[in-house]
Structure 1
Amino acid sequence: MNDEQKTLKYLEEVEAKAEEILRDRQEVIMLDKRRNDDRMGERALQKQKSDKTWMAVGPLLIKMKTKSAQELLVKDQRECDIEINKIRSELKAKVNELRDLEHIQPVPGLMLNPMSRVEMSAINQVLGKSL
């Protein structure tokens, strides 16, 4: 393989990884918007006085019990949260892979995880703080 082919292959790898990252970021934005719409719908249903409500599920308009509609929205919010967290954790690894391809050092602190309640409790005990 000559230098031009190596360079072209390298650029293709970098572009593919960058496109993957941008696609994931766009998906997080879309899921966050859907989660926010679910939250707004749930709040509107909480204020509603009637027992039944109309709800759009994809291309269908369905009349259902208000409580069932609220439960459906809450479930969808949870699923969006799970999917967003999954994509964000994968995104950290992809960003580091891209930086490796570009021969740049990884972002310091990118792979940090928050402390658990048990760990925070232990630190508070050491510092003499009570919960």
Structure 2
Amino acid sequence: MNTDQEKVLKYLISVEKLAEEILSDRREIVMLDARRNHNREALRDISKSQQKCWVTVGSVLIKHNLEATKNLLEADQKQLNIDINKLRSDLKMKVNNLRDLEMQPPVPGLMLVPMSQKETEGMTSAGLFSS
């Protein structure tokens, strides 16, 4: 192969690899979000329960204390939120990198973040907008 063909091949490989990572991350976000929704449903159902509940650990059913189960589900919810947010922020960077490889401009507004409470209070006190 000559050098031009090798460059094109390397370019196509890098684009395809990055695109596959993006698709994989999106699938993982969907999977984690479904798990988060199941946890949310379980937390709601636990609030209706009396004192004991059944928890699945792998393929084993265990009768477990209600409060301990609630704590486990809440901890899992926090971890899922962290994982999903990290994947989403990494996904933004990968999408921009892919667009750079494709020689397209970045997606407008993709990297926007909401204002913090302190920034909002400063804008309100300066009279730039009302809350």
TM-score normalised by length of structure 2: 0.93
Do the aligned partners of residues 115 and 4 (structure 1) sit closer, same or farther apart at CA in structure 2, a change above 3 Å counting?
Answer: same
Do the aligned partners of residues 94 and 130 (structure 1) sit closer, same or farther apart at CA in structure 2, a change above 3 Å counting?
Answer: closer
**In structure 2, what is the equivalent of residue 88 of structure 1?**
88
The alignment status of 1:77 with 2:80, answered yes or no, reads no
2:15, 2:128 → 1: CA distance? 50
Q: What stretches of structure 1 move > 4 A for 4+ residues in a row?
A: 128-131
Which string of whole-angstrom CA distances, capped at 9 and with x for unpartnered residues, describes residues 28-47 of structure 1?
10110000000000111101
**In structure 2, what is the equivalent of residue 103 of structure 1?**
103
Structure 2 unpaired stretches of 5+: none
Q: Which amino acid aligns with 1:120?
A: T
**In structure 1, what is the equivalent of residue 34 of structure 2?**
33
Greater shift after overlay, 19-28 or 102-111? 102-111
**In structure 2, what is the equivalent of residue 121 of structure 1?**
121
**In structure 2, what is the equivalent of residue 43 of structure 1?**
44
Shift of 1:127: 2.0
Do the aligned partners of residues 3 and 62 (structure 1) sit closer, same or farther apart at CA in structure 2, a change above 3 Å counting?
Answer: same
TM-score normalised by length of structure 1: 0.93
Shift of 1:128: 7.0
Identity %: 49
Structure 1 unpaired stretches of 5+: none
| RMSD of aligned residue pairs (Cα, Å) | 1.5
Shift of 1:7: 1.2
Shift of 1:61: 1.5
Determine helix, strand or coil for the equivalent of 2:103. coil
**In structure 2, what is the equivalent of residue 66 of structure 1?**
66
1:113, 1:23 → 2: CA distance? 24
